[in-house]
Amino acid sequence: MPETQRTLGSAEVEQLVARDYAYGFVTDIETEKAPKGLSEDVIRLISAKKEEPEWMLEWRLRAYAAWQEMKEPVWAKVSYEPIAYDDIYYYAAPKSAVEDGPKSLDDIDPELRRTYEKLGIPLVEQQRLAGVAVDAVFDSVSVATTFKEKLSEMGVIFCSFSEAVKEHPELVRKYLGSVVPHSDNFFACLNSAVFSDGSFVYVPKGVRCPMELSTYFRINASETGQFERTLIVADEGSYVSYLEGCTAPMRDENQLHAAVVELVALEGARIKYSTVQNWYPGDENGVGGIYNFVTKRGKCAGDRSHISWTQVETGSAITWKYPSCILLGDHSIGEFHSIALTANRQQADTGTKMIHIGRNTRSTIISKGISAGHGQNTYRGQVRVLPGASGARNFSQCDSLLIGAHAGAHTVPYIDVANPDTQLEHEASTSRIGEDQLFYCRQRGLDPEEAVSLIVNGFARDVLSELPMEFAVEAQKLLDVSLEGAVG
Amino acid sequence: MTACAPADARARMLALVPAGASASEERRRFVTGFFRRGGFPTRKDEDWRFSGFGALGRIRFQLVDAGSGVVEPWPGETAGEAVLVGGVPAEPALSPPGVRVESFRADAAPEDLFDRDPDGTLRPALPVFLADARDRLHRPGLDLAACFRHPLEMLNAGLFTGGAAVRVAAGVDSGPVLLRSVRGEDAGGAPGMLHPRFLVTLEPRSRATVIEIHEGRHASRQGWTNPSTVVRIGSGARLDYLRLSTETGGGSHTGRTTFHLDRDARVKSTVLSLGRMRHRHDATAVFRGEGSSASLNGLFVGAGRERAEHHTLVVHAARHATSRQLYKAVLADEARTVFDGQVVVAPGAAGSDASQSNRNLLLSDGARAHTQPRLEIHADDVKCAHGAAIGRLDEDALFYLRSRGLGALDSRDLLVEGFAGEIVEGVADERARTLTAASLARVRGRGR
């Protein structure tokens, strides 16, 4: 899309601009699109394109019917221009991928390969480098999946969602919507109606997934909403760690992203889900940027199951995201570790819900919010203990760091307890970077930016340490990049 | 319950505004405004999500009567006193030297009972400074005026039939002043509502102890008491405020206290919700002068199906102000509590120091606690913290006491007393302490 290339000012001006988006570029690939706007016909088209069975289409249509009855939620502490849902393309696929799917990495459109290289996904090297299988999502259709065979030897299914619908319909049918129903909320509902693709993971009984599974999300074609759907099922006694990272090209119009992630952990299973979100946040005046409205929810369905969410949110103009755990099984555990950074004009309303239903369930919430510039950062979370959840334990810690007099940090925890045999603690603090800390660092020869970066990384360490190694490095770098120019 | 349509409710309420009284036209506007904003709040309103009061809109209320008006004297030493029965003065007010205590009927309400906007419009409990400061404070995401949109305040301002005012002269130490409101009797068998209004003014450098008491029995579970207190604390003045509600009868009590603090002013507020009622109290503190500070405390002891909600709003609109909040609840049987605390630090309010804490003790399976400690911060040079804990009695502490030879029941009582003690200890009034002890006795032995 050459017409959406951003218009550059003079090079000098460009250098002065506080926070340049390092990953801003648009790949020129012919895109196959559905007409703008949403209707039953568009949904039928999406479903037909993906050669879905009848039940899948019906499910989408039910979601669409429910969505039409719903109103866009306004309770989050974010403000943005109204979204014209009729002015969005709900389906786009890179043509080359649709016409004949790649047989190997060599079959991939070279343009696409270059995009990945710029993003730093070492797809070509993936097979040699140990440990990470990539289901790369480029504009809604999976174009490359690696390490599939190796995984399938162990019975692990890791494929694109559309593939799963075709090849494992019994699993998809059983678990799709079991955690986030088709009528859950406005954005999840929209996703259920029009989701284009995503990832599907099934780990069979007793299997410890031998590698960390990873997906890179990428928004590319202009004016295309991206509606990913991820479903991860960990059968009894299994373990899987899943990484999700994303970045998007620089562009001027706001893009809508409404993803849904569902996790199901059966008895004794453990799912670790990590996200680094680095979408285009808009420029320093708040122009452009991704609207990120995500519904993520995990169900600890079996006893002693364990779901842990870790997220580093540095991108997006608007973030609306509450990765949650339904602690249904006895002795199940939910964890939420989050870093949310808002700089410039970014707004984030994020947090978690821990719903304690089973006995002796435990949950931990660690949230670190960092606001710089005019950023507005809200932690919104709920800890709910139902009458049957005897022995429930929760610990929540929500800290906020303010950088600059115009930043805002808000904490809105909801704590609802209906069982006396509960131990629940919530702590929160808000402060700015200490002058003495800065002074100390500068006295040791660090410049102000390095000093702030050091302090911020220390502040966020509890969460960073939860991330898998390669993500931790990226996340730390992201924090630094995101704060550039915010200090001083 | 006798049902009636919203339009009907509005007409009925309007008819109850005393005609011909001072500012009656403006008071009718408050009532109209209340209905225009949607009338009685329901659970769909975020601030009322645990207990809406929408059902009140369907009751055909009458204002309560003074009735026989027999009021027992309050034990203990008091310097000044104003007593209202059924919302109107019951006996002449008693003023200590340097302090003016008066009780009044609506048609003789003091001039400064309401704030006025620069254009002369009356505003119930909306701080004067806000009108000019609103622009300065306004930033996207901070709608300060919205913080003050308490719907039931509008009804009180429109419908009050009487109240009491205290003014402490500059530099004077008032000693304890009692403001008592006794429920009165329902007129003609219709469910009664009561809207007493209090105004407390501390001139600069004065000191005062004000005890506000709501007592009496609701004749039916549809009864409603909706008092409102506005407190203005001048620069350097100090107020010790105790609010006690002991009403019984299972009706609804929705009260508010709003503190406006000037430079270096201080308030310590203790709210004891001991009544057998459906209870809600909103405490608001607005720092409009540098260096002011507020300590807001509250205790609810509930059994049966009683419930109490404590909502707080602390607005740091000036620099170097300090706020502390500590609210606790002891819950037995199916009692429920809600703590909804909000701290707002306005842009530019550097040096703000706010803390907020809520602790709830659940003594039985049916008890419920909901906590929502909210922080909204728009300045960077701040120190804000909040904490919340919900749980039952500490097993280790129980074990320790038992190992020292105390019986199971005594150990529990001791721990419950200690838990409540943190709030009650600072209360000087003897009667308030007795009443709290009596409330605690009701939940005796309920600990598991």
User: Residue B327 to residues A454, B146, B298: CA-CA distances in angstroms?
Assistant: 38, 24, 4
Residue identified by tokens 């709210």 is B271
Q: What is the dihedral of CA B262, B267, B273, B275, to 10 degrees?
A: -80
Q: Are A277 and A40 in contact (CB under 8 A)?
A: no
Interface touch A428/B373, C-beta < 8 Å: yes
Interface touch B372/A430, C-beta < 8 Å: no
Interface touch B380/A405, C-beta < 8 Å: yes
User: Residue A423 to residues A118, A211, A303, A356, B201: CA-CA distances in angstroms?
Assistant: 48, 36, 20, 12, 43
**What's the rounded mean pLDDT across residues B58-78?**
81
Q: Tell me the pLDDT tens digit for each residue of B297-353.
A: 999 999 988 889 999 999 998 899 999 999 999 999 999 999 999 898 888 888 999
Angle (CA) A376 A478 A197, round 5°: 85
Q: Are B43 and B141 in contact (CB under 8 A)?
A: no
- pLDDT above 90: percentage of residues in chain B: 42
Q: Are B370 and B402 in contact (CB under 8 A)?
A: no
Q: Which chain B residues are Cβ-neighbours of A423 within 8 angstroms?
A: 391
Closest chain A CA to residue B358? A426
Q: Which chain A residues are Cβ-neighbours of B360 within 8 angstroms?
A: 417
Best mutation target among A426, A436, A455 (most B Cβ atoms within 10 Å) is: A426
Interface touch A404/B380, C-beta < 8 Å: yes
Q: Tell me the pLDDT tens digit for each residue of A225-267.
A: 578 889 999 999 999 999 887 554 445 455 788 899 999 999 9
Residue identified by tokens 């000191």 is B207
- Residue B53, token pair as written in the block: 């009061």
Interface touch A415/B371, C-beta < 8 Å: yes
Interface touch A411/B382, C-beta < 8 Å: no
Q: Beta strands A318-321 and A270-278: pairing type?
A: unpaired
Q: Tell me how far the alpha carbon of residue B389 is from its chain's centroid.
A: 23
- In chain A, the largest separation of any two C-alpha atoms, in whole Å, equals 68
Q: Which chain B residues are Cβ-neighbours of A424 within 8 angstroms?
A: 388-391
Query: What per-residue confidence (pLDDT) applies to A435?
Result: 82
**What's the rounded mean pLDDT across residues A321-345?**
94
Query: What per-residue confidence (pLDDT) applies to A38?
Result: 86
Q: Beta strands A306-313 and A270-278: pairing type?
A: parallel
Q: Tell me the pLDDT tens digit for each residue of A268-300.
A: 999 999 988 877 787 777 777 888 899 999 999
DSSP 8-state secondary structure symbol assigned to residue A68? H
Query: What per-residue confidence (pLDDT) applies to B312?
Result: 93
Query: What per-residue confidence (pLDDT) applies to B7?
Result: 72
Q: Tell me how far the alpha carbon of residue A479 is from its chain's centroid.
A: 16
pTM of the predicted structure, to 2 decimals: 0.82
Going by C-alpha positions, the residue among B227, B209, B219, B215 that lies closest to residue B162 is B227
Q: Beta strands A31-33 and A408-417: pairing type?
A: unpaired
Higher pLDDT: A306 or B160? It is A306
Higher pLDDT: A208 or A160? It is A208
Query: What per-residue confidence (pLDDT) applies to A191?
Result: 92
**How much is the ipTM here?**
0.77
Q: Are A156 and A202 in contact (CB under 8 A)?
A: yes
Interface touch A425/B388, C-beta < 8 Å: yes
Q: Are B96 and B79 in contact (CB under 8 A)?
A: yes
Rounded Cα gap, residues A372 and A407, in angstroms: 5
Q: Tell me the pLDDT tens digit for each residue of A106-156.
A: 555 555 455 455 545 555 433 333 234 445 555 444 444 556 667 878 899
Q: Which chain A residues are Cβ-neighbours of B139 within 8 angstroms?
A: 406, 408
- Residue A437, token pair as written in the block: 């800390």
Query: What per-residue confidence (pLDDT) applies to A135?
Result: 52
Binned at pLDDT 50, 70 and 90, residue B358 comes out as very high
Rounded Cα gap, residues A427 and A431, in angstroms: 14
Binned at pLDDT 50, 70 and 90, residue B195 comes out as very high
Query: What per-residue confidence (pLDDT) applies to A106?
Result: 56
Q: 3-class DSSP state for residue B131?
A: helix
User: Is B368 within 8 Å of chain A by CB?
Assistant: yes
Query: What per-residue confidence (pLDDT) applies to A248?
Result: 47
Going by C-alpha positions, the residue among A90, A110, A103, A82 that lies closest to residue A50 is A90
Binned at pLDDT 50, 70 and 90, residue A26 comes out as low
CA neighbours within 13 Å on the CB side: how many for A444? 8
**What's the rounded mean pLDDT across residues A21-31?**
53
Binned at pLDDT 50, 70 and 90, residue B148 comes out as low
Closest chain A CA to residue B345? A408
Residue B331 CB contacts under 8 Å (≥ 6 apart), including other chains: B300, B302, B337, B360, B361, B362, B363, B364, B367, B368, B369, B443
**What's the rounded mean pLDDT across residues B74-94?**
88
**Partner residue facing A417 (CB), from B368, B375, B383:** B368
- Residue A224, token pair as written in the block: 């295309």
* Confidence check: pLDDT of B100 > 90: yes
Query: What per-residue confidence (pLDDT) applies to A486?
Result: 61
Q: What is the dihedral of CA B435, B440, B442, B447, to 10 degrees?
A: 180
Closest chain A CA to residue B137? A406
